[in-house]
Amino acid sequence: MDKFIIEGGNRLYGNVQTQSAKNSVLVLLAASVLTEERVTIENVPHISDVLHMSEILRKLGADVRFADGGVTVSSERAEERDISSHLTRELRSSVFMLGSVLTRFKHACISYPGGCDIGLRPIDLHLFGLKKLGVRTEERDGYIVCNAEKLEGENIHLDFPSVGATENIILASVKARGETVITNAAKEPEIRDLQDFLNRMGAKVRGAGTDTVVIEGVKELHGTHFTPMRDRIEAGTFLIACAMCGGEICVEGVRRQNIAALLNKLSENTCKIHIENDKIYIRSNGKPRSNRHIETLPFPGFPTDLQAQMTSLNAVADGACILTENLFETRFKHVPELIRMGADITVKDRTALIRGVGRLHGATVSSEDLRGGAALTLAALAASGTSEVLHLSHIDRGYDGLEKKLSALGAKIRRVGD
Ligand code: UD1
């Protein structure tokens, strides 16, 4: 398995382009089987989650081709097949296939989804929404079996604004009879991207990005070309890297409103932020001040996917930070590794008390999940001495060429195979 070898202590300078959003591309790929016509998604990141999703589409009989940085899906020959391979266990987003496969074939069978081990991640809200649309669901030996003679529009109120449940209900209702209204829907920008994509295919979806999404069922959907939004989490990871290491970088491609919660926090860290259209400039002296309090929340609150990286930042900051993780139960697996690097962090339930120590020292650490792996990489970049970050397969799920982009900014990081 690959690992990073990182020599810490270098400032970062230069420009970095942001990849397309992982969480958008994955749901768009799931949506591509809603039509028999060809769908092209441009500028697709080369990450293992995307490759796994493509494999799932191929298992259904779709033709999936990567060319010129994009992917084309033709699912004319796709058939009603059980999605019960090992792939669904590796990829949480495979659960989106339920909505789109049900719309296409009125039947879906999928093994219980996996993904990062960051807590229970139940799918009760997905199933609740699907049932409201007329789907009969059954959980059998780790499989979810769904059948729908017909899909009928409904009013669906979510108890919690789950991103995946909102997206799945949209996918299951685009061709349902009548109107579906989702209230307390998730407001993440990736849902807006899904709406734009579906509308380009001929769907009638409105309200995404607010807490009420309205889907008027249509009879047919057709093929399209689409360029997804950029990855606000990848962008945030680079901004936090600069805040920790010091220097001056420009992160290109991300809209300010998609990353506003992080920008507020980085100002508290005494970083200087300047924005021109979709270019975010950050300057840091490499001696950040702690955030007093960070609490992860559904969008537009502080994203859970940047929590681990902010743990690293506060570990090297001046002062103390109380960080509360509200979304996932076990999302502190990076903490014991940061402690190996000299961090002073105490975790109780979902709250971490991080006392900044100024500087961490190099160590061999292991990434246990995607964002935790990114957090350890940042910690190593800012630490004194050499570190090894093991188990890059987690990082490779969501970052396309992380080490190449960091090297281009002046970091001393290289990938070696075991
Ligand atoms: C998506 C993102 C993930 C991000 C998360 C929160 C994708 C592929 N992944 O994950 O990167 O961290 O949003 O912003 O887009 N829950 C239930 N029942 C359900 C569904 C969710 O209790 O049926 C709970 C989860 O356990 C969790 C919380 O709701 O505690 C948030 O989950 P959700 O918003 O659904 O996240 P995902 O769609 O899994």
Phi and psi of 110, rounded to 5°? -140, 140
162 touches 185 (CB < 8 A): no
Residue 88 Cβ inside 6 Å of ligand 1? The answer reads no
Ligand 1 atom index nearest CA of 22: 8
Q: Indicate if ligand 1 lies below 6 Å from the C-beta of 66.
A: no
CA–centroid distance for 24 within its chain: 8
- Please give the CATH superfamily to which domain 22-226 belongs: Enolpyruvate transferase domain (3.65.10.10)
Catalytic residues: 116
Residue 68 tokens read as: 């010129």
Rounded to two decimals, the pTM is 0.96
Residue 222 has pLDDT above 50, yes or no: yes
pLDDT digits (tens, 9 = 90+) for 9-57: 999 999 999 999 999 999 999 999 999 999 999 999 999 999 999 999 9
- Residue closest via CA to ligand 1's atom 34 equals 162
For residue 282, give every residue at least 6 positions away whose Cβ sits within 8 Å of its Cβ, in sequence order, or none.
239, 242, 243, 248, 249, 250, 251, 266, 271, 272, 273, 274
> What is the C-alpha separation between 394 and 333, in angstroms, rounded?
13
332-384 residue pLDDT tens = 999 999 999 999 999 999 999 999 999 999 999 999 999 999 999 999 999 99
Ligand 1 centroid–CA 334 distance in Å is 19
Residues of the chain with CATH 3.65.10.10: 3-19+230-416, 22-226
305 lines ligand 1 (CB under 6 A): yes
Measured CA angle at 96 (ends 93, 97), to 5 deg: 110
Rounded distance from Cα 117 to ligand 1 centre (Å): 12
User: Is 95 close to ligand 1, i.e. is its CB under 6 Å away?
Assistant: no
pLDDT in tens, 236-295: 999 999 999 999 999 999 999 999 999 999 999 999 999 999 999 999 999 999 999 999
The CATH number of 3-19+230-416 is 3.65.10.10
pLDDT of residue 418: 65
Helices (H) and strands (E) in the chain, counts: 14, 23
C-alpha 92 – ligand 1 centre gap (Å): 9
Centre of ligand 1 to C-alpha 125, Å, is 10
d(CA 15, CA 28): 28
SS3 call for 325:
coil
Determine which residue's CA is closest to atom 8 belonging to ligand 1.
23
Closest listed residue to residue 210, CA positions, set 230, 231, 192: 192
Portion of the chain with pLDDT greater than 90, in percent: 86
Across the beta sheet with 70-74, the strand order is 63-67, 70-74, 38-41, 224-226
pLDDT tens digit sequence for 83-124: 766 677 667 778 888 999 999 999 998 887 654 554 556 888
92 lines ligand 1 (CB under 6 A): yes
Distance CA 359, CA 338 (A): 11
Q: Check if 304 has its Cβ closer than 6 Å to any atom of ligand 1.
A: yes
Which element (helix H / strand E) includes 61? none
